[in-house]
Amino acid sequence: MKLSLVVQTPEVEACVPVALLSGTFSEKAAKARAFGADGLELMTVDPARLDVGEITAILAEHDLEVAAIGSGAVAMVSGQTLLHPDASAAAQAEARLGELIGFAERVGAGLVTIGGFRGRQASAAPDARARLAAILRSAGDHAAALGVRLAIEPLNRYEADLVNTAEQGLSFLAEVDHPSVGLLLDTFHVNIEERSWDAPFRQLMQAGRLWHVHLGDNNRLPPGEGMIDFGRVVDILHDIGYAGFLSAELLALPDPDTAAQTTLTHMRALLER
């Protein structure tokens, strides 16, 4: 398994609460490498405003992979979501998803994550669920053509009303019905919504759909700063043969660098036991 840190890309002006590391993009990459990360998950809003050549050069200089492109900052910054009740905002979100897929291909990321960016079923038309499935099926075609995959993230009930658990994620995937659309699990949300630690990871792995993992303790602090037993989580992931990224998406407390370093120290020790 590999370790990654969520960072916001330079065009995102607002401070994303669950993005780590401080400084310029180059400084973030240098710190990520010095703290022992294998990759970065890029939270991006507007790829057109980024110098892709510069970003890939910085990542190569510090020998960092791009674990994923995160869509979470789009809703936060622009308010656009795939199920937005305003048709033009929803259409803009869909176009933005296409841009994030293109960006993923250009920076060598194999995955685009879809969490809160999907929006809420309750605020959209009655056919919201089917509409979201159709949007993701079509985005899945675009992604597949570029060698990229999409991962829907079950989120806790306070943040989403469509797909809160791994099981609900698998049911929804059956409706999307696309080989390039899978799931990711975030320990912070698993801790709130699931009945056990084993079943959700095991079920998704058996279905061939566990494509990414987010890390955050029960209080969304770095692993080890709350009550989740990350040793147990690592044992389960080893046991099921998960070999992908564990990507820290957690509150930048007490500051964005300390949170990153604390996470990597704790998780590296668990991975190397």
Residues that bind ligand LER (CB under 6 A): 18, 72, 115-116, 153, 155, 159, 186, 214, 249
In angstroms, give the least distance from the CB of 204 to Mn ion.
15
Backbone angles phi, psi at 178, to 5 degrees: -140, 130
Residue 23: left if φ>0, alpha if ψ -120 to 50, beta else—which one? Answer: left
The number of angstroms, rounded, from the C-alpha of 64 to the middle of its chain's C-alpha atoms is 17
Closer Cβ to ligand LER, 58 or 172, answer by number: 172
Per 3-state DSSP, what percentage of the chain is helix, strand, and coil (rounded to 5)?
45, 15, 40
- Collapsing DSSP states into helix, strand and coil, what is residue 183? strand
Helix spans in 159-242 (H)? 166-176, 187-193, 198-206, 230-240
Quick one: which segment of 37-45, 83-91, 198-206, 207-215 binds Mn ion (CB under 5 A)?
A: 207-215
In angstroms, give the least distance from the CB of 117 to ligand LER.
8
Closer Cβ to ligand LER, 58 or 250, answer by number: 250
Closer Cβ to ligand LER, 18 or 270, answer by number: 18
116 interface partner picked from ligand LER, Mn ion, none, CB below 5 to 8 A per type: ligand LER
Answer for the pair 40, 32: CB distance below 8 angstroms, yes or no: yes
In angstroms, give the least distance from the CB of 114 to ligand LER.
9
Please tell me whether residue 41 binds Mn ion under the rule CB under 5 A. no
In angstroms, give the least distance from the CB of 115 to Mn ion.
5
Please tell me whether residue 249 binds Mn ion under the rule CB under 5 A. yes
Helix spans in the chain (H)? 25-35, 52-61, 72-78, 87-107, 128-145, 166-176, 187-193, 198-206, 230-240, 256-271
72 interface partner picked from Mn ion, ligand LER, none, CB below 5 to 8 A per type: ligand LER
Instruction: Tell me the residue nearest to ligand LER as measured from the CB.
Output: 115
Closer Cβ to Mn ion, 58 or 200, answer by number: 200
Which residues are CB-neighbours of 96 under 8 A, at least 6 positions away?
45, 46, 71, 74, 78, 80
182 interface partner picked from ligand LER, Mn ion, none, CB below 5 to 8 A per type: none
Cβ atoms within 10 Å of 87's Cβ, excluding its own: 10
Residues within window 133-192 making contact with Mn ion, judged by CB under 5 A: 186
Please tell me whether residue 225 binds Mn ion under the rule CB under 5 A. no
